Amino acid sequence: EVQILESGGDLVQPGGSLRLSCEVSGFTFTRHAMSWVRQAPGKGLQWVSSLSSSGISAYYADSVKGRFTVSRDLSENTLILQMNSLRADDTAMYFCARGLCRSDSCLWFLYDHWGRGTQVTVSS
Amino acid sequence: EIVLTQSPGTLSLLPGERASLFCRASQSVDSANLAWYQQKPGQAPKLLIYDTSTRATGIPDRFSGSGSGTDFTLTVSRLEPEDFVIYYCQHYGSSVTFGGGTMVEIK
């Protein structure tokens, strides 16, 4: 059974840093691209960042580029999002999501399994 | 960047009725790259439909998707009580964007 569990969310002051983790199990971590998607309170979904299945390529939304870094720890089957220079508009629930693999290809941005999310609040 | 506009913002219907949710793209998209998600309160989104019309694993056949170019539709043939939640469309080509969502509420 595919399981995705996020952790690390917290209340942090503007300008602060936070490290989110996404522990996965039940599938081959290195076969799938993984992404972070966030949702501000009462708002819609916003893609944040993606890491390729190889772990070599990473992509970021313009709003977080230069402040957030995505990586992974294969020994822990964990995707990591390092968040620096946090701003009030980064306040959101952060979801970790798995890219779907079909018979002929694996996709970066189509998500077939999601975690339950971890809450990040940026406020003084 | 492709912008997705969902309509209506809120759809008020009764259980058993048919729901049609719309998603319009700011420019023509490859129909292989349009998906729909369902989100229940306090939960993560759940993939319903991808490639415009392919149901994800375990999704009941009362959910169907159609469309091409800039206009796409999610249809729920007969609403069940658990279907009264929020739905998002998504484009997932070389980049990714989500629509603003449609809430389906009980009339």
Mean pLDDT on A31-58: 96
B43 interaction partners in chain A (CB closer than 8 Å) = 116
Tell me whether B85 touches chain A (CB under 8 Å): no
- Please write down the HEC assignment for all residues of B19-74: EEEEEEECCCCCHHHEEEEEECCCCCCEEEEECCCEECCCCCCCEEEEEECCEEEE
Facing residue for A114 by CB, picked from B44, B88, B95: B44
Facing residue for A45 by CB, picked from B43, B45, B57: B45
Asked if the model's pLDDT at residue B93 lies above 80, the reply is yes
In chain A, pLDDT over 90 holds for what percent of residues?
Answer: 94
Question: Is residue A107 within 8 Å of A97, Cβ to Cβ?
Answer: no
Asked if the model's pLDDT at residue B31 lies above 80, the reply is no
Q: How far is CA B71 from CA A53, A116, B20, B36, in A?
A: 32, 31, 12, 13
